Structure 1
Amino acid sequence: MGFVLLPRFTLLPFAAFVDCLRLAGDEGDMSRQLRCRWTFMTSEGHDAQSSCGAGITPCSAYRDPSEFDYLVVIAGVLDNQEMVDKRTLAYLKWAEQSKVPLIGLCTGVFALLQTGLMHHRRCCVSWYHHDDLVRRFPHAVPVSDQLYIDDGDRLTCAGGIASADLAAYLVERHLGRIWARKSLYIMLINEARRGNTPQPHPMVWEKVDNRIVRRAISILEQHLGELISIDELAERTGCSRRALERNFRESLSVSPQKFSRDLRLRYGLWLLKFTARSITEVGEHCGFADTAHFSRHFKKAFGHSPSDIRKNDVILEEELIDPFFLHIGKSSR
């Protein structure tokens, strides 16, 4: 594996991916590069600076891409500047010509898009960066409802701990399941999640044009585990409570209170279907005062109780596919 570390790259996706390789590469925790080998590279061969300030050393300058089975591109904080310099641009195109599969981790997919290597390709992106990607690359085909995508010679991952899932997927492909499981167990990860596992978050705000509502939804999405008062939400969006409520009703035909509650209920649905947390823990994690309060609103929204979801494996396809199912045209519900 060759790692292309771009300025201010995100540390967790990098660490999760490379540690899975490290633990699969040797017996126990010896960390020798036996079954897996990796090289860290930067444009000039200088140390790589992560977004949190930690540095990675040693790094080499870009090497012949044909030396690697994969090139992993990891970028970092989004700003108004282009991510890929001319040297990196040329290197990634060289890798494509050499038919080396490219992996975009976290915002590394932005770098692949900027380089022009994702034409008509689906690209996995975190829900958090979905709107940035659409704004910068309007012709991209973003997917923000799963963890990673394997599209042959292009693999993209939403980032975070999902990078360990993608790394384990590749370790299993090349070394076998026992080595993938060994790595994850040592990392205290129970098992690898499949690429089409939904991201643990409803993705909604990219469908809203109203600036105030978009800002409010962004705040709510980042605080799913707590109940933010409407007065506080209005203050943080820079408008009055009355203006906030009016904008929500004009854009979504619901009040901000109901939107906030339903957003947290959808998160609760995800937790019930894809984690082993108890119903009580799920309710608390979604900002509800008690289990009864959570269960009552959950059943009203989805037509099934949390216990039904757990016991009968009820499939709620429409709710899972359409994040606005509870809101658009459903204000009377």
Structure 2
Amino acid sequence: MPAPSSPPAKRLRVAFLLADRFTLSAFANFVDVLRLAADEADHSRPILCDWVVLSDTLEAVRSSCGVRVQPDTRLRQAARYDYIVVVGGLIGDSAALNGAAQGFLRRQAEAGVPLVGLCTGVFILQRMGLLKGYRCCVSWFHHQDFLDQFEAETPISDQIFVVDRDRLTCSGGHGAAHLAAFLVQRHVGQSAAIKSLNIMMIDDAMGGEKAQPGLTLARRAKDELVRRALLRMQQNLEVPKTVEDLARELGVGRRTLERRFLADLRQTPLKAYLDLRLERALQRLRTTDASVTNIALACGFCDGPHLSRAMKAERGVTPAEYRKAQGRFEPGDDLPAVGVLMRSAE
């Protein structure tokens, strides 16, 4: 009688440390890729991958949205893991991880265990000195926050994640899923990584060099005040701030801000803001099927006709014309006949 087969060895073991008020989406995207890669279909058994949430007290940890996650393993019972993933919390929470968790992190780093910083987890690793000498990735949304806290550092804010030896850092959001897929491909296999993303309705795995979805202007700002103003504009596209509000928040007068923009970008703050909103609208017209009205509202325009007038004046095309030029069509448009489509594909 044949001996019962032993379960396959775990190919990827990951432990999470969750900061108080951690970012739930980054954690959920990362762990869901592991879950789906660990078993057949979406049965969720930890066969090929294993994941735990560590804590010294096992008290539930609250996320930034209020949902709480229950840790399952005490720090003193922690096993050997392939990666320790730190999921950060709200900016400014200097005590996001307690002393026991920080001590554990330092010991793991000394033992050569790779550390992962998700979202603002990068801030925690940087503050602890665990990213000294490493390149690190920060969301464009928190780029200035990072510079404000770590003046001597230069983060990478135009990639979704960065792998530098035994430090892996990620901008958060859907980038966490792509970083997890990168690790799954490395340890389990490409098919498992693709399967996970497909079930999560993510079309393709992205490498770390893939650009973050933040917007850029044709000219790159050099003036630090102008760069900070542009970042605030990017963070407030749906409900644009007035130039007066931006200047007040940055601690300067409106005339000073306008003068610095003209000297650095050769355009006014108002024009730069409009360009950013139009670029976001063009991006959504290219990559989504959202209506022109919804895109207009999401990009700070009053309605669809307002967006159409601005786009025609600044870019020379209407949203409908732009979509047709990209091979996309508005709902209700007359589609080309099948024969025409087939001939154009030949």
Query: Is the shorter-chain TM-score for this pair beyond 0.5, marking a shared fold?
Result: yes
Report the alpha carbon displacement of residue 235 of structure 1 after superposing the two structures with TM: 5.1
Which residue of 163, 184, 187 maps to 1:150? 163
2:61 counterpart of 1:48: yes
**Aligned equivalents of 1:20 and 1:141: distance in 2?**
30
Give the letter aligned to residue 94 of structure 2. Q
Structure 1: which amino acid aligns with 2:211? P
Write the mapping of 1:31-46 to structure 2, written as runs, cut at 5 A. 31-46=44-59
Shift of 1:67: 1.0
Structure 2: runs of 5 or more not aligned: 1-13, 328-346
For residue 193 of structure 1, what is the amino acid of its counterpart? Answer: M
Asked if residue 101 in structure 1 is aligned to residue 114 in structure 2, the reply is yes
- The answer on 1:297 being equivalent to 2:314 is yes
Counterpart in the other structure of 2:274: 261
Give the SS at the match of 1:122: coil
**Identical aligned pairs, as a percentage?**
37
Matched ranges for 1:160-199 at <5 A: 160-199=173-212
Deviation string, structure 1 residues 115-160 (Cα, Å, up to 9, x no partner): 1111121110001111111111122230011100011200000001
Structure with higher Rg: it is 2
Partners of 2:178 and 2:205 within 8 A in 1: yes
Question: CA contact under 8 A between 2:284 and 2:295: conserved in structure 1?
Answer: no
Q: In the alignment, what sits opposite 1:13?
A: 26
List aligned pairs for 1:285-324, cutoff 5 A: 286=299, 289-290=306-307, 293-294=310-311, 297-298=314-315
* 8 Å CA contact 2:162, 2:169 repeated in 1: yes
Alignment of 1:252 onto 2:267: no
**CA contact 2:118–2:171 (8 Å) conserved in 1:** yes
Note the C-alpha offset of 1:66: 5.9
Secondary structure at 2:183 match in 1: helix
Q: Is 1:141 the counterpart of 2:158 in the alignment?
A: no
Match of 1:121 in 2: 134
Structure 2 counterpart SS, 1:179: helix
1:92 lines up with 2:110 in the alignment: no
Indicate the RMSD between aligned Cα atoms, in angstroms: 3.3
* TM norm structure 2: 0.74
Cα distance 1:98–1:216, how it changes in 2: closer, same or farther (>3 A)?
Answer: closer
What pairs with 1:222-237 in structure 2 (closer than 5 Å)? 222-225=235-238, 228=240, 230=242, 234=244
Letter in 2 for 1:251: R
1:223, distance to aligned residue in structure 2 (A)? 3.4
Query: Secondary structure of 1:146's match?
Result: coil
Give the Cα–Cα distance (whole angstroms) in 2 for the partners of residues 84 and 192 of structure 1.
Answer: 31
Aligned to 1:30: 43
Matched-pair contact (CA < 8 Å) for 1:124–1:156: yes
Normalising by structure 1, what TM-score?
A: 0.77
Distance 1:40 1:206 in 2: 42
* Long gaps (5+) in structure 1: 312-333
1:62-118 CA distance string (max 9 Å, x none)? 256661011101111012534343222211111111111100000001111111111
Amino acid at match of 2:144: D
Q: Which moved more, 1:276-285 or 1:128-137?
A: 276-285
Letter in 1 for 2:260: S
